[in-house]
Chain A
């Protein structure tokens, strides 16, 4: 991180032309609010879908829709020429995803001497997730020559890390055979400390409107393609062990990474609005 930062600062001293910039200023620091209406997620997570979306209303799970996802970004860029620049963004994005729906636990059958894998259905409160992304980017203009202001196209590839926000999520378990109750309520559903990494490819169309010699208002639209790497089964079922020892979590991190990955993939479009400072 620090390495990238130093590189950009050094490069900013070796500008290729003295004419680029807004009043000669070529460096931009931006703070933007991001917002998205999760239409895709709502389409796939309706009350009758395989993985419905539940909210916690007065301690009860209630089918609902995810109304808004949002976050903020802080970025820096440097205009090297009239229409080309480099920069990076730190993005913190909060979204909500449907909870896990199928849990798996192993049950040791003493008479038979093996583990019986039993799946249970879950109705789980929607998970709040937070994704941090570091995104180096290029900025360019087409048919325009007034970077860093005006219409700015941005393209970047970055690294993201997603985590479920820790809180007391409520859930209910439906057992296939209630007589075989094994105290699953004592189990934790998933590892809340796990992080899920991935890659983000971003294209953004921004309009930077100057309102003073060093202040810009920016607004625009951002498209991201988010891919989450698969998890390892760090805490899932350990075959051959007894129920007393194994299965710290009902849901292993492979399944969690799938859930988060689907949500991240569905977060394609967001709008941004913010301020930039030029120096």
Chain B
């Protein structure tokens, strides 16, 4: 029966493989029944664990440890980046099952989840959860390398390294040599885990060569997932040409070394680990030669999924050039992928925005960071002046629009790109030539040839009636032979776009709107201060009486750090206050909260993740409050359809409690006794510092509609919160009179 079920399970997974359409790729989402790790509340997990005996730790340390791991790990699980039941998690689970095929009991204790992040990492927890990032999986060459990393993490769990490290820290943190000793202790644990992982891989039947090669993955994981030469002709077409001179003359060396200084690192350097593993490998004989055991096809599919997620992560994080390089690699296999081209459009639009806002350094590597083949692209984009980058962005987005004329997201990116350019004073259409670079260059070359062949007198005769100023104007006109400038290759790059009727219509639309907005701005600044305040006040009245509320959060700090248990309890106050205030004002609230996932299930979990991703995108890439083009438009539209609203609110309350007593102040007040009572009352009454922040986002437009942070010296108590939330809802619910 067990074998039948196993076969059925594998068959189902094979069916899943056939369904991944990389041309219309959809980001990983959680699937299946929601695991207890996600649905059980943290306070419950903590209570259950406290009831059991942890003999490795003292009672006091046990409480601290359990609080730290449960709240810490639950924050990862609910970060918005973690998924379960997805193809990647399922495949990783299968590989782990193979590693532990002789230890079913251990396998049953473990759970495997995926984190959608470009940080190449895997880690295990004391609870038996193993996280693997898509960034790491995208770097592997084969299943054996993944297996070794999983085996390493499983070893940390079986050897209880997490609790041992915590215990060691508690005992030694006041030691004068703490940092050095901690580094040594931590490295010893890594060596131990490597040795046990070698044994597990040997039992599982993987290749010893690939186990050894896993360390190359770790060493070079900071580079893109492949090292393919970026051709200097990549952007060239019949309409666009970037001369070779704009590309770097030499390659950029990859500087990673195996034997780097690991004195202050928690992990040994690669050389030490390789040496240790080499010895461990030699302790076992009869190594099998398998690079793939579970499924080669599934490995490559899982890796491709991870690479597609890598592109998405880079776009979300504003690392647009990294995204473009990754797309370049993936395009070879998926040239017609709508997803990749859409991400490319996002990346170019993002680069253009960054260039306008002087933020390009956030997206391109600094000179010292340039390594490997991807550095060519970083170099090129870094070297582009404003006009070059704007033009290239427009060119790329236009071409993608032509390739996918029905795609609404791409159409929106195209529209936004034009809007951004038209409203920027550096971009002027009259600066551009109606000829392509080839035509203009050929005309120029032909003229140069004729200058060489003909007499000087003949040339002068043709031009003798022109004035000095006419000659200057000719040289400035990009459509004339005299005006040809090979260094300004970009002005010849959009000749076909300029005559596109759709483009012209969009330009006109945005130009008109720009003039209207400019006039409105001038009128605004002509108003008196009082009138402006009135206008601002009316602008803040949004008339929003329905919204989705995502998980109100409280973070409570003391002098020792975050008090997770108190934070959890105070969240109940905040949730109740929001409920109360919304009813008072008449605002309808639709809740998405991790505390109700046990009832709401995987669908709610995915919605929550989608909204957190949008929030993260806005925070990371929209520092000028211009709005973003949401990545997950389909998922957002599903949310909008379900609730009938597009407005989403996030609220965070941060509270710090610490009486404001200082030794100097207290001593001073002893000498000024009349002020001592004031000092003491003030010290304790002002002990609370509370910040309440809310952000209201329009998920359809990708903009922050309203946001504010309010500061007050009051505790996180019922009536304070109710009043604050009442003010917020009242403000956004009001309509201008």
Contacts and interface: CB of A to CB of B under 8 A. Distances in A.
Contacts of B689: 143
A62 B689 CA distance: 52
Interface string A215-243: 00000110100000000000000000000
B584 A23 contact: yes
Contacts of B722: 23
A253 B575 CA distance: 64
A24 B713 CA distance: 19
A221 B677 contact: yes
Interface residues of B, number: 26
Interface in B704-723: 710-714, 719-720, 722-723
Interface in B287-312: none
A45 B584 CA distance: 58
Contact of A205 (B678, B723, B727, B734): B678
Interface in A1-60: 16-19, 21-24
Contact of B720 (A17, A18, A210, A268): A210
Given A24-B730, A207-B685, A210-B723, A151 B714 contact: yes
Contact of B731 (A16, A19, A145, A205): A19
Given A19-B727, A23-B723, A221 B678 contact: yes
B588 interface: no
Contact of B713 (A23, A151, A213, A220): A151
B44 to A, nearest CB: 32
B537 interface: yes
Contact of A223 (B678, B723, B731): B678
A221 B681 CA distance: 8
A145 B712 contact: yes
A195 B226 CA distance: 94
Most buried by B among A16, A141, A143, A150: A150
Contacts of A21: 727
A269 B677 contact: yes
B714 A149 contact: yes
A146 B723 contact: yes
Given A143-B711, A151-B713, A151-B714, A22 B723 contact: yes
Interface in A113-154: 141, 143-146, 149-151
Nearest to A151: B713
Contacts of B720: 146, 149-150, 210
Interface of B: prevailing SS:
helix
Contacts of B730: 18-19, 24
A177 interface: no
A36 to B, nearest CB: 11
A16 B533 contact: yes
B723 A149 contact: yes
B731 A146 contact: no
B714 A146 contact: yes
Contact of B682 (A82, A144, A205): A205
Interface in B182-220: none
A144 B713 contact: yes
A146 B691 CA distance: 11
A155 B385 CA distance: 59
Interface in B567-602: 584
Most buried by A among B686, B689, B723: B723
Contacts of B734: 18
Nearest to B684: A207
A244 interface: no
Given A211-B719, A212-B719, A145 B686 contact: no
B724 interface: yes
Interface string B242-281: 0000000000000000000000000000000000000000
A91 to B, nearest CB: 19
Nearest to B673: A39
B726 interface: yes
Interface of A: 16-19, 21-24, 82, 141, 143-146, 149-151, 205, 207, 210-213, 220-221, 223, 268-269, 271
11 contacts: A17-B537, A18-B730, A141-B712, A143-B686, A146-B720, A151-B713, A205-B678, A210-B723, A212-B719, A221-B677, A223-B674
Given A207-B681, A211-B719, 16 more contacts: A21-B727, A23-B722, A141-B713, A144-B712, A145-B712, A146-B712, A146-B714, A146-B720, A149-B714, A149-B719, A149-B720, A150-B713, A150-B714, A205-B678, A223-B678, A268-B674
Identify the 7 closest CB pairs spanning chains A and B, nearest first: A210-B719, A144-B713, A146-B712, A144-B712, A150-B714, A207-B685, A22-B723
